[in-house]
A and B are shown apart, each in its own frame.
Chain A
Amino acid sequence: MHRFAKPSVFLKLASAIMPWAIGITVVTLAVGLYLALVASPADYQQGDTVRIMYIHVPAAWMGLFCYVGMAICGAMSLIWKHPLADIAARATAPIGATFTALCLITGSLWGEPMWGTWWVWDARLTSMLILLFLYLGYMALVNAFDDSERGSKAGSALALVGVINVPIVKFSVDWWNTLHQPASVARMGGPSIDPSMLWPLFLIAIGFTGYYVIVLIVRVRLELNERRIRALQLGGVGQSVADQHHLAVPAKQAGAGE
């Protein structure tokens, strides 16, 4: 595990994965969008608004998936102090926040014509909004300290505490009376929706996952470069000053990436 967590190994692995991730993302999104917008039938009750589902539901899955990933990375960065785990958590946050925001916005655009309201303060919608705030809080917190290590600690702690919200989102439709419908795909007894609607749902979900991998790799590379820049700048100011403030740690770690 730690072997893969070395920046140099990660960069090699990332270069190998990148073309596959791009290929899978482009193909699944192209086919998924065709099925979602053209080939799949309109719902007998909801008409064509059901097509919003093919964005809304995969975006919701990604919002939760990214959050769990971010929290696991946060835990690894707290326990093993590994810089790459911290970098991966920081890189995941804006992607997860984007998907969560998309879920909320498309949900509103679906709710208005079908429920007659853009928003209700019920359990599912509120817990999803809290998920978005957890992402935004994490991003604000990790950047709130001059010492990035302290920022990581505070952010990871917030991400871990916020994990409690994930099962609340998932089971909110069962635990409380809500306007939101219960699960129809990931449920006991198998999916209850037609394959012609399941296919575009899964393909777009895979496409979104591929997109996540691509942007994650880009953002991790960006962050690795920026840490290297900071380390070099500190080296320029003077090694002794860096040592005094135990800021030499990122310098050594960045050096290991060569």
Chain B
Amino acid sequence: MSNFFEMGGYAGYVWSSYGLATIALVVLLMVSLRGLKKSRRDLAHLETLLKSRRPRRKKAQPDAQS
């Protein structure tokens, strides 16, 4: 087992490669997921805000677009 971690004397190079790859990919995934969650929260917040404040505007919108 210790052989496995020593990597024939190249432990520093091999394990930092795998470690950095893991960290980079996990961080990118977490940042993206966090951004998605935040955007969902913001969108839901904005939609309830618009619904409660401007009930008329929602109805008027399809006419404005056509």
Given contacts A38-B4, A222-B32, A239-B64, contact A228 B24 (CB under 8 A): no
Q: In the complex the two chains form, is A255's CB within 8 Å of B32's CB?
A: no
A95 at the interface (CB under 8 A from B): yes
A110 at the interface (CB under 8 A from B): yes
Which of A3-11, A44-52, A185-193 forms contacts with chain B? Answer: A44-52
Residues of chain B within 8 A of A55, CB atoms compared? 17-18, 21
A214 to B29, CA, bound (A): 9
Q: In the complex the two chains form, is A49's CB within 8 Å of B10's CB?
A: yes
Given contacts A106-B21, A222-B36, contact A48 B28 (CB under 8 A): no
Residues of chain A within 8 A of B61, CB atoms compared? 235, 239, 255
A211 to B24, CA, bound (A): 12
Given contacts A48-B8, A214-B29, contact A225 B13 (CB under 8 A): no
Q: Which secondary structure dominates chain B's binding surface?
A: helix
Q: Which residue of A lies closest to B41 (CB)?
A: A225
Number of A-B contacts (CB under 8 A): 96
Interface size on B, residues (CB 8 A): 32
A95 to B17, CA, bound (A): 18
Within the complex, the shortest CB–CB distance from A132 to chain B, in Å, comes to 13
Given contacts A112-B13, A215-B29, A235-B61, contact A226 B39 (CB under 8 A): yes
Binding site for A on B (CB under 8 A): 4, 7-10, 13-14, 16-18, 20-21, 24-25, 28-29, 32-33, 35-36, 39-40, 42-43, 46-47, 50, 54, 57, 61, 64-65
Binding site for B on A (CB under 8 A): 33, 37-38, 42, 47-49, 51-52, 55-56, 59, 94-95, 98, 101-102, 105-106, 109-110, 112-113, 211, 214-215, 218-219, 221-222, 225-226, 228-229, 232-233, 235-236, 239, 252, 255
